[in-house]
Structure 1
Amino acid sequence: MSNLTFDEGIERVNVRCAGIIRHEDHVLVVREDDDDFVCLPGGRVQRGESSLDAIHREMDEELNARIEAPQLRYMLENFFWRYGKRFHEFGFYYEIEKPVHVPFEKGVCMTGEDDGKTLSFEWVHNSPDALVEINLHPFAMRSRLVELPQAFVHECVIDPDY
């Protein structure tokens, strides 16, 4: 299958899903190779795939985790620049219980691979200040992770540089 990503010149439309995995005032983030930012674990939704199916597939691929009852907390329409492209990203963010086999320890707690790139997973303190320090993308999630809404929230977020 192919990803729901469409390019037209410098414009890119992207559909992504990610897991919000919290444990003891921390949140799990992932860094791809030597990127200067981290994000929540997840990836692109594929054509013909629902975001719910995609979050199950992505957690299996990245964390080797079978997840149960993910709860959609946010759908962000996010506008930002990255990799020389002007993104319009539809992001589905699901709250997920910590998989039992994912160790809760300082530093890199797990590594993996995705499309030939190395993934490093790490628990970071779940506070806006700590998330700014580690350069969490999208920026909009920095303030939204500490207290999750009980019901689904849809928001449009435009980064200042857009």
Structure 2
Amino acid sequence: MDLVFPTEHGVFNYRVAGIFVKDGHVLIHRNVRDDFWALPGGRVTLGEEAATALARELHEELNMRVTDTSFAFVHENLFTYNDQPFHEIGLYFYVNGDLPLQDGDFYGPEGDHLIYRWQKLDRLQDVTLYPEVLAQLPNRLPAHSLNPA
């Protein structure tokens, strides 16, 4: 059971997302119906650890094998989506994995409902990225993620 609970007042959502940086780019995604981007990830299942949920989601959505994660931050996000108020707790992790860098938009093996893109870190302002705190992402990254060995 995913940890998302609709109520008469809105929806509570527990989400994990990955900060996957490669050669000055960060992996982002969006639903084809949306006009904004987010970091890839998904919902945590009851009894599942957050890092495990993130590795599972990235494997399901991108057939990606996660080789390493480390906790980055937690963000409480209040927003409205499809006319529903959401109260989301998001856990964000730095991620390493076997997904290659590629140009342009692409889809994962689940189909064409999610669009992925490697966005240049110095061009994050060119896209609408939620939650808005992610606009500061280039300033928050550890040095080793910007200049991998």
Q: TM-score, normalised by structure 1?
A: 0.78
Q: How many positions carry a matched residue from both structures?
A: 143
**1:136 alignment partner in structure 2:** 129
Instruction: Tell me if the contact between 1:112 and 1:119 (Cα under 8 Å) persists in the aligned partners.
Output: no
> What amino acid is aligned across from residue 113 of structure 1 in structure 2?
E
* Distance change >3 Å, CA 75–CA 61, structure 1 → 2: same
The answer to whether the Cα contact below 8 Å between 1:26 and 1:126 also exists between their aligned partners in 2 is yes
The offset of 1:64, in angstroms, is 0.9
Shift of 1:18: 0.7
Q: Deviations over 1:47-77 (max 9, x none)?
A: 1212122011111111212212200101111
**1:107 equivalent in structure 2:** 104
Matched, 1:32 2:25: no
Identify the structure with the greater helix proportion.
2
Which residue is 2:117 aligned to? 122
Percent identical pairs in the alignment equals 34
Q: How far 1:29 sits from its partner (Å)?
A: 0.7
Deviation at 1:110, TM superposition (A): 4.0
- Is the deviation greater in 14-23 or in 29-38? 29-38
> Would you say the 8 A contact 1:63–1:112 is kept in 2?
yes
Cα distance in 2 for residues equivalent to 1:112 and 1:34: 18
Q: 1:18 is matched with which residue?
A: 17
Equivalent in the alignment of 1:63 = 62
Q: Would the alpha carbon gap of residues 63 and 33 (structure 1) be closer, same or farther in structure 2, given more than 3 Å must change?
A: same
Q: 2 CA distance for matches of 1:108 and 1:144?
A: 21
CA RMSD of aligned residues (A): 2.0
Does the 8 Å CA contact 2:63/2:109 hold for their aligned counterparts? no
* Alpha-carbon separation, structure 2, partners of 1:59 and 1:8: 28
Unaligned runs of 5+ in 1: 151-162
Post-superposition CA distance 1:120-139 (Å, at most 9, x none): 21111113xx3343111111
Cα distance in 1 for residues equivalent to 2:62 and 2:138 = 20
Report the secondary structure of 1:142's partner residue.
Answer: helix
Give the aligned residue type for 2:110.
E
Structure 2 stretches of 5 or more lacking a match? 144-149
Matching residue of 1:148: 141
